[in-house]
Amino acid sequence: MADQVLDAKGMNCPLPILKTKKALQTMQPGGLLEVLATDPGAVADFESFCRQTGNQLVSSTKEGDVFKFVLKRK
């Protein structure tokens, strides 16, 4: 169960990543952040973001039109 949910639906690059970065900063290490987005570019962006920052991409799924990413703050 996620500690925080970030609704980034309707937002386009780079907002989903920028808002995610902001949200992660408020969380404790190990905390889980769930991000919902509709931007198709977000799939690759979140993989890249996690690789670059060391945060873990726990899951990346699609439910209907919405992409759901779960990140674990490092």
Select the span of 17-25, 27-35, 60-68 touching another protein (CB under 8 A).
17-25
Separation CA 29–CA 73 (nearest Å): 5
Q: In the complex with another protein, which residue's Cβ is closer, 10 or 30?
A: 10
Question: Which of the 8 DSSP states describes residue 43?
Answer: H
Q: What backbone torsions phi and psi does residue 12 show, to the nearest 5 degrees? A: -110, 165
- Clarify whether 13 is annotated catalytic: yes
Question: Does 18 engage in binding with another protein (CB under 8 A)?
Answer: yes
Please report, as residue ranges, which positions from 20 to 59 form the binding site for another protein (by CB under 8 A).
Answer: 20-22, 38-39, 48-49, 52-53
Residues with Cβ within 8 Å of 48's Cβ and at least 6 positions away in sequence, in order, are: none
Question: Could you give the residue numbers annotated as active site?
Answer: 13
